[in-house]
Chains A and B, each alone.
Chain A
Amino acid sequence: EAGVTQFPSHSVIEKGQTVTLRCDPISGHDNLYWYRRVMGKEIKFLLHFVKESKQDESGMPNNRFLAERTGGTYSTLKVQPAELEDSGVYFCASSQVPWGRGYGYTFGSGTRLTVV
């Protein structure tokens, strides 16, 4: 089974530009999560999709961040315009509904975003 795929793996953009990150979850996984780790800090929850619906977006830092999951398959996270403090590693994870043995999420390898 293919894992959670994220791309790009790295992105370097200038402040004020726009970047779109993509996540392809494991096929059939209804739950899709976005997380972010800023340098030296904890991994922070951004939002949670169930299929195409936003279940919880309480972690989105501000309205410069827009997440979509059209059709309930892959998801995109757009940052527009990017600021220096947006630099970090953005992780996506997916899981099935309902959880069985509690084996939880499968994470992607992350996108390292650097805003200069």
Chain B
Amino acid sequence: GENVEQHPSTLSVQEGDSAVIKCTYSDSASNYFPWYKQELGKRPQLIIDIRSNVGEKKDQRIAVTLNKTAKHFSLHITETQPEDSAVYFCAASNSNSGYALNFGKGTSLLVTP
């Protein structure tokens, strides 16, 4: 089955700096890669996603890149703000398997003022 590795497990940055979280996956059939943000005690919320036919996608301060050959994808947050502090999960899935998500272990991001 699919195995998703996520690094780092914790990340601390100063407000205004950039944050990068990296994930690798093992199943070349995976074709959909969402990123979720989970604040303490709240539900995971989709912040950005990318499909395998696209190499990069950007939404304001958030961007995701995908390298299918190397089987890795990354989340980039620029101009970080304290409210970006949360746990971020990457996931990989396959449309042929009903989009069941295989999650990474999560990255706890702390943005200090």
Query: Which chain A residues have a beta carbon within 8 Å of chain B's beta carbons?
Result: 4, 31, 33, 35, 41-45, 48, 50, 55-56, 58-59, 91, 95, 99, 102-105, 107-110
A103 touches B49 (CB 8 A): yes
**B42, CB-defined interface residue at 8 Å:** yes
How far in angstroms is the closest Cβ of chain A from B18?
25
Q: From B4, B49, B101, give the contact of A102 (CB < 8 A).
A: B49
With A42-B106, A102-B51 as contacts: A108 and B43 at CB distance below 8 Å: yes
With A102-B49, A104-B49, A107-B43 as contacts: A48 and B103 at CB distance below 8 Å: no
How far in angstroms is the closest Cβ of chain B from A57?
10
Closest to A108 in B: B43
Given contact pairs A104-B46, A105-B34, enumerate 8 new A-B contacts (beta carbons under 8 Å).
A31-B99, A33-B100, A42-B6, A45-B102, A56-B100, A91-B44, A95-B99, A109-B42
**B60, CB-defined interface residue at 8 Å:** no
What are the 9 tightest A-B residue pairs by CB atom distance, in nearest-first order?
Answer: A43-B103, A42-B105, A107-B43, A109-B43, A42-B103, A45-B100, A107-B44, A55-B98, A48-B98
